[in-house]
Structure 1
């Protein structure tokens, strides 16, 4: 496929002027690779599989042609209040994000968009469906529930999109996806977008799609991690990770920062610890109610808070281009989780830094990730919160300390009454760091406090 320019505009690729004008108003004119490659086919109604790494523009890759076709395509029935397009996503947060992106692009169109997910009252969603909706973005479980109740009509859906298909597979949604696909017995366009393409997803595509064109936005042998993301990996003692993280958060040039953990409990504990050290921080995890999670995500997006601690599932809806740092507080469980985590930085032409703190008990897990992704760092060095190497690698000022101010409240969370309720206060934290440093010295390591 030949392009009209190395980086063509949406207008040059034939997108309706109403959509291009709306995108121009928010500073979006030129396409990314996945958009350039998919738009001509998608606008023509072709079934396609779009494969690109996280943060490379998949949402507009399917969202722009979807809106264009619903608005003005001869083979899509006139809008009458029953859905003409359906976008299925794995998580509530991603549903919200995709819905917002589509509304931005559809600003000048007479197209009604509704976002549907669990955790919200059925009545508000059934009322909206009854009032009339043209495009629906939703999670599998709630979509199936509403369809089975008779509130969601799928008989006029002309465009179906499965977004983050590999994530839906990881979360066990494949049976639900098959139910939705089976309900669409009429002729329609299907677009499947995914960062990776595991076997079950390929099988799904072969079963339910009509001669799909598989489009990759990079070469077959391209690395799965962004070249624009600097990866810093080192071994860190579990008791020293909080102090290390506090220093990383003082790196020169640090902006929005995502801190990933594996469990809900750890997410809450890390957020409370950082707030106790004086940082303005929020969190998103499964133990929070949906309204609280949305408040934290919106605060992160609009810059009210610049630090967000998140579990993997809760963070899948975070689509913010200006994330400068990702910190893997705990080593991810598998290579694809690592790819998705660090893909939250270095997005949309920006550069970023991804830091992974490999606990001593997590080294075997890291070796598997390193081997699978060919990162060539199977045995990371041991660094501590006082190691000169840490300060140098992440451009941390020499005066950086464990604490940056008085204790704060976690955004949307409970007040912190003690500075360090779990570890016995600031002195205890420093004592742990010094103890770790002495251990490094005995092993021949270089770790000393920088002033």
Structure 2
């Protein structure tokens, strides 16, 4: 499970907040007993069935903030119809990768409950997902497009959904996703339901829009309004870099002392492919996640990164939202993102759950206006970052790079997840075929316990 134990145990335990014993036991088996601040604040409200907007910094426990009360209520709440194989809860997320992550977290939390969790997203065959839904599911996690497709084909029935969650709600209610969200709301046919919105960032216009379809929602922020989005546990290093020197800068920076798992964000999928290939040629172990890869290859790359088979993941912003890998020590913005909120979600991949981390932003000379917008939005105090090169002593000092490091670290490797040329078909760990072997089905977990065991509160 991606959620980790808070560093301090001053917050109440899940058991003390009245969470079902089966869920408490499942969390405890993962070393999770005490709540994060967002969980402490939202659980009493969510368990009572009220609508809410939950806001907390990235990596501070939002998934269990909605996941625990959702499972608890679906399992044993008199206001929710008895389970009959049609969904009682729907969690909508913006990306396939986040769907997989949230689905796994809910499945692990529900391991002692007779509840079926299904994860539905694009890039997978329709028929398998239709069969899964036909066999009966209680909680569905999915992306809007595939959910609507299956609903239009009458494979996904939403008439009895009693709990609706929008994860990364600020993105879900932006113009790109809003029409799909409106269609999903229509698909509930006015059925009374609890709605929960969770995100790290909730701009005012998004909150105003959200209130149009929530009923007397409580807006909860786990931090005070004065606290910075870019929290102090993340060391931020920002400088201007010439695009012809960025590869060398990156190669040296990746040899910094204490550098562990690292995510490198690019703005375009073409750049992601180029950067991952360049690093592999320099001898680094690299995985890639971007839009030119099929879903199996993307899942393979992420799993290789989680498992430590590769320690560098090059990704477009598909991975900036909700990919919960707790031991990421460094994040690099190889290209400045197009908007400030994306910057926050990117750097939030490190410094998670109370850990420290380093966020490095390479500002191209032509990207300075984009950086200045980000700087102004979050009052970072660096409107014109210094110009550093791969040979600059300031770079080595800021990132603790040892003296005389080379721009290569060994013989060329293959990028996990990258498509191969025909000449490479007989071998190479970077192939899509290898990824397919590595990828297992994570779409469903059905518990076998009898539903009669309902007297389970501590």
Is TM more than 0.5 here?
yes
State the secondary structure of the residue aligned to 1:253.
coil
Q: Compute the displacement of 1:202 (Å).
A: 2.0
Tell me, yes or no, if the aligned pair for 2:11 and 2:34 is still in contact at 8 Å.
yes
Q: 1:14 maps to what in 2?
A: 18
2:285 counterpart (277, 280, 283): 280
Instruction: Give yes or no for the alignment of 1:307 onto 2:317.
Output: no
Q: 2:378 maps to what in 1?
A: 373
- Alignment coverage as a number of residue pairs: 413
Alignment of 1:282-301 (within 5 A): 282-301=287-306
Alignment of 1:170-189 (within 5 A): 170=174, 172-184=176-188, 185-189=190-194
Q: 1:442 maps to what in 2?
A: none
Instruction: Give yes or no for the alignment of 1:321 onto 2:326.
Output: yes
Q: For residues 7-65 of structure 1, give each alpha carbon's deviation from its aligned partner in whole angstroms, at most 9, with x where no partner exists.
A: 11111111111111111111111111111100011011111000112211110000011
Q: 1:426 maps to what in 2?
A: none
Once residues 69 and 95 of structure 1 are traced to their aligned partners in structure 2, the CA distance between those partners, rounded to angstroms, is 21
Tell me, yes or no, if the aligned pair for 1:232 and 1:355 is still in contact at 8 Å.
yes
State the secondary structure of the residue aligned to 2:318.
helix
Relative to structure 1, the CA distance from residue 315 to residue 362 in structure 2 (aligned partners, 3 Å threshold; closer, same or farther) is same
Q: 1:237 maps to what in 2?
A: 242
State the secondary structure of the residue aligned to 2:212.
helix
Q: 1:255 maps to what in 2?
A: 260
Once residues 57 and 355 of structure 2 are traced to their aligned partners in structure 1, the CA distance between those partners, rounded to angstroms, is 14
1:167 counterpart (159, 171, 178): 171
Once residues 43 and 344 of structure 2 are traced to their aligned partners in structure 1, the CA distance between those partners, rounded to angstroms, is 25
Relative to structure 1, the CA distance from residue 278 to residue 415 in structure 2 (aligned partners, 3 Å threshold; closer, same or farther) is farther
Instruction: Give yes or no for the alignment of 1:120 onto 2:86.
Output: no
Q: 1:57 maps to what in 2?
A: 61
Q: For residues 330-374 of structure 1, give each alpha carbon's deviation from its aligned partner in whole angstroms, at most 9, with x where no partner exists.
A: 111111111110011001111000000011111111111101110
Relative to structure 1, the CA distance from residue 314 to residue 347 in structure 2 (aligned partners, 3 Å threshold; closer, same or farther) is closer
Alignment of 1:29-40 (within 5 A): 29-40=33-44
Q: Compute the displacement of 1:411 (Å).
A: 1.2
Once residues 390 and 241 of structure 2 are traced to their aligned partners in structure 1, the CA distance between those partners, rounded to angstroms, is 9
* Structure with bigger gyration radius: 1
Alignment of 1:220-231 (within 5 A): 220-231=225-236
1:410 counterpart (401, 407, 415): 415
Range with bigger deviation, 122-131 or 201-210: 201-210
Once residues 322 and 200 of structure 2 are traced to their aligned partners in structure 1, the CA distance between those partners, rounded to angstroms, is 14
Tell me, yes or no, if the aligned pair for 1:408 and 1:415 is still in contact at 8 Å.
no
State the secondary structure of the residue aligned to 1:40.
helix
Higher RCO (CA 8 Å, separation ≥ 6 residues) = 2
Once residues 201 and 144 of structure 1 are traced to their aligned partners in structure 2, the CA distance between those partners, rounded to angstroms, is 22
Alignment of 1:123-202 (within 5 A): 123-170=127-174, 172-184=176-188, 185-202=190-207
Instruction: Give yes or no for the alignment of 1:26 onto 2:30.
Output: yes
Q: Which runs of 4+ in 1 moved over 4 A?
A: 414-417
Tell me, yes or no, if the aligned pair for 1:342 and 1:354 is still in contact at 8 Å.
yes
Q: 2:453 maps to what in 1?
A: none
Q: 1:70 maps to what in 2?
A: 74
Once residues 342 and 129 of structure 1 are traced to their aligned partners in structure 2, the CA distance between those partners, rounded to angstroms, is 36
Tell me, yes or no, if the aligned pair for 1:327 and 1:354 is still in contact at 8 Å.
yes
Instruction: Give yes or no for the alignment of 1:102 onto 2:106.
Output: yes
Q: Compute the displacement of 1:171 (Å).
A: 6.7
Once residues 21 and 298 of structure 2 are traced to their aligned partners in structure 1, the CA distance between those partners, rounded to angstroms, is 36
Q: For residues 127-169 of structure 1, give each alpha carbon's deviation from its aligned partner in whole angstroms, at most 9, with x where no partner exists.
A: 1111000000001111111111111111111111010011224
Relative to structure 1, the CA distance from residue 171 to residue 106 in structure 2 (aligned partners, 3 Å threshold; closer, same or farther) is farther
Relative to structure 1, the CA distance from residue 200 to residue 176 in structure 2 (aligned partners, 3 Å threshold; closer, same or farther) is farther
Q: Compute the displacement of 1:196 (Å).
A: 1.7
Q: Compute the displacement of 1:125 (Å).
A: 0.9
Once residues 346 and 25 of structure 1 are traced to their aligned partners in structure 2, the CA distance between those partners, rounded to angstroms, is 24
State the secondary structure of the residue aligned to 1:220.
coil
Once residues 289 and 246 of structure 2 are traced to their aligned partners in structure 1, the CA distance between those partners, rounded to angstroms, is 20
1:41 counterpart (19, 38, 45): 45
Q: For residues 42-100 of structure 1, give each alpha carbon's deviation from its aligned partner in whole angstroms, at most 9, with x where no partner exists.
A: 01111100011221111000001100111111111111111010000001110000000
Tell me, yes or no, if the aligned pair for 1:226 and 1:343 is still in contact at 8 Å.
no
Once residues 197 and 283 of structure 1 are traced to their aligned partners in structure 2, the CA distance between those partners, rounded to angstroms, is 29
State the secondary structure of the residue aligned to 1:29.
coil
Tell me, yes or no, if the aligned pair for 1:358 and 1:366 is still in contact at 8 Å.
yes
State the secondary structure of the residue aligned to 1:250.
coil
Instruction: Give yes or no for the alignment of 1:92 onto 2:96.
Output: yes
Gaps of 5+ in 1: 418-451
